[in-house]
Amino acid sequence: STCSTTVTLATTLLTESQATEFTLEIYNLYATQRFSDVYALMHPGIQQAMSEKQYTEFQHRQFRKLRLRISQVTVVNVKGLDVQPLEFQNLIGGEGSYLSVAITYLAQFASMGVRQERTLSKEVLFVIHPETDRLYLLWNPLPVTQGTESIID
């Protein structure tokens, strides 16, 4: 019916708007190195896989090592995902709706002693809790828990 289509469309638009704002908030926190605040926005299953201390130390190490600065964050696209991203299946269970947010940002960093500036693209993943409609950040804990260093994340 037209009424249910309108409700679905309004919910979708609200979700896209929320995901856009949430993504910009998260990357502002990254840019200002407020990693504990980013950690607090992650799904509880991811928080169980790595401690706040592990995550914040990892991110501080990355920012220090690269002398990383993030700016000019732009949300390019928000889309719903039909299936749960595989890397999160064992971490968060199967309930909820998943969103992918494509972003670009300007990264300034040092690599092999040379200062570089690059516009990078990234996909940020979220889950919407089915009962509370709360958005949670999905961040793969493997670089932290397995000790692998990612260049920029």
Instruction: Tell me the pLDDT tens digit for each residue of 37-86.
Output: 999 999 999 999 999 999 999 999 999 999 999 999 999 999 988 888 88
Report the distance separating Cα 115 and Cα 83, nearest Å.
39
Model confidence at 148, pLDDT cuts 50, 70, 90, reads low
More confident residue, 6 or 89: 89
Give residues with Cβ within 8 angstroms of 22, minimum separation 6.
Answer: 41, 126, 135, 137
Check whether 3 has a pLDDT greater than 50. no
